[in-house]
Amino acid sequence: MAIRSILEAPDPRLRTISTAVEAVDDELRALIADMFETMYEAPGIGLAAPQLGELKRVIVLDIDREDVKTGPLFMANPEIVEASDEDATYEEGCLSVPEHYSDVVRPAKVTVRYLDRDGETKELACEGLLATCVQHEIDHLDGILFIDHISSLKRNMILRKLLKARKEKERDEAEGKPAAKLKMTAKEEAAEA
């Protein structure tokens, strides 16, 4: 098991459509272990393989809230097979879009079909934060980020800020300055996936 680095937008790998997994084998289970370890360390409540540069249709989730407790959930080749007409709005964040948050509207309930850790086909009815998180992670497998669901004005502002932060970091590293400590904010408690 290893903690891996998480790709950040704008990175072309985050914009790529990932390929379906043929079998849940030991190699894939090793990737799953890395994904869980990386997600818990971040910390986040969900992670998709392409966020680690692995362009495979694999996601992990673990939500531990008062209303939703899932435990560790792994899904290969997840697909939404049912979605409610009713929508829900959640403030979303993403480990690949660090320190930015925005309200996103999605179907309030979805049913997802996937292969579990043993390669068995399963279906899970999701609502609340779990429904949002599953849809957010499946989006990653299609090269979609939560900022694609918000206004282009806000999306471009976030992308510009991410690029600026990256340039500053690269400049500091070139000058041999230690990495600036991330500012602690109340937002760190918000869900990132």
Q: What is the footprint of Zn ion within residues 100-119 (CB under 5 A)?
A: none
d(CA 15, CA 17): 7
Contact flags string 42-81 toward Zn ion, x per CB under 5 A: ----------------------------------------
Is residue 134 at the binding interface for Zn ion, with CB under 5 A as the rule? no
As measured in angstroms, the least distance from the Cβ of 146 to Zn ion is 6
Report in angstroms how near the CB of residue 60 gets to Zn ion at its nearest: 12
Residues in the chain: 193
Question: What is the residue-wise DSSP string for 127-151?
Answer: EHHHHHHHHHHHHHHTT--GGGGS-
Q: Note whether 94 binds Zn ion by CB under 5 A.
A: yes
How far apart are alpha carbons 74 and 120 in whole angstroms? 12
In whole angstroms, give the CA distance from residue 76 to residue 28: 9
- Report the distance separating Cα 7 and Cα 16, nearest Å: 13
Residue nearest to Zn ion (CB): 94
Q: Does 130 bind Zn ion (CB under 5 A)?
A: no
Stretch that binds Zn ion, among 62-70, 86-94, 101-109, 149-157 (CB under 5 A): 86-94
Supply the residues annotated as catalytic.
137
Q: Which residues bind Zn ion (CB under 5 A)?
A: 94, 193
